[in-house]
Each structure stands twice: as C-alpha cells, then as structure tokens.
Amino acid sequence: MKTKEFKKAVEALGFDLFSNRGYIRIDIEDEIFASVNCNRALEFDVDYTAYKDLADIDKRALFTLLFEYASTPIAEREEPKKYYVKCPITKMYLNQETQDDDSFLWTTSKRETSDYRTKFTRAEIEAYDLEHLIEEEVPNNER
C-alpha cells in the first residue's frame, strides 16, 4: 500500500493524521490513537485505551489499514519518481498516446490529458531508450 493511499483511507474514516520523525500518527479528538513506522516494515502501535472505545466497524477498518501499510515493503510505499522528457534541441516535451498504439509525439506542453501522458518513470525512460534526452523531475505534488 502506498503512503498516499494509506493516508487518504485513514482520513476517509474520519481520523486525523500527522507525520513526524518517520512515523505517521493517527489521532482521535487530539489524542494519539495509533502510529505506524514509515521507515521500517511490520511496525505499528495502537493505544489500547483509545482503541477499546472505538466501534467494532472502525476498529476493523483501521486495524486492516495499519496492518496492510505496515506489511508493505518500504520500497513499495512511495510512488516512483517521474520525469518529463524534453528534447535538448527543440525544448519540446515528449507525449505518449495512451489510447490506441502508444505512439509518441513532441509538443510544447507537459500537461497530461486523457489521451496523452507526459510523465515517465526511470524504468520507462530506460526501456524506451530515452536517456540521451533532457529529464525534468516532476514535483511530488504533481505525480
């Protein structure tokens, strides 16, 4: 489970989240309810006093999320970095068609649409042999 997915799912249950020193802390009404280690797999902690007061449905849902996230290997928790690929001569961006034949074209826009994508992982850049082109890292909030 990705960190982003974990946070979204916990917040959807109505809990508050705080990230601090390698942990994600889950609070209920300003009290620490649980925490999960972001840097080590298979480590999470639950405050029994707060846990026993939760409804069974919330206990089950939250425990499932904590267990799934803590069980996810560290390397699989974050989205891989993505890059825009730019031609060093024309300064145009590579776009890949997503619908039919996965063909490529060059445009001045790096904005993705439902028909074209502009963000590529390192593995995709290597697989398509695009390494001789300019790579611009996509900011975290745009991945």
pTM: 0.64
User: For the chain, what is the mean pLDDT?
Assistant: 86
Q: Where are the domains of the chain?
A: 3-76, 82-142
Strands 134-137 and 116-117: unpaired
Question: Which tens digit of pLDDT belongs to each residue from 25-55?
Answer: 998 777 778 889 988 899 898 887 777 777 7
Nearest to 11 by CA among 67, 65, 54: 65
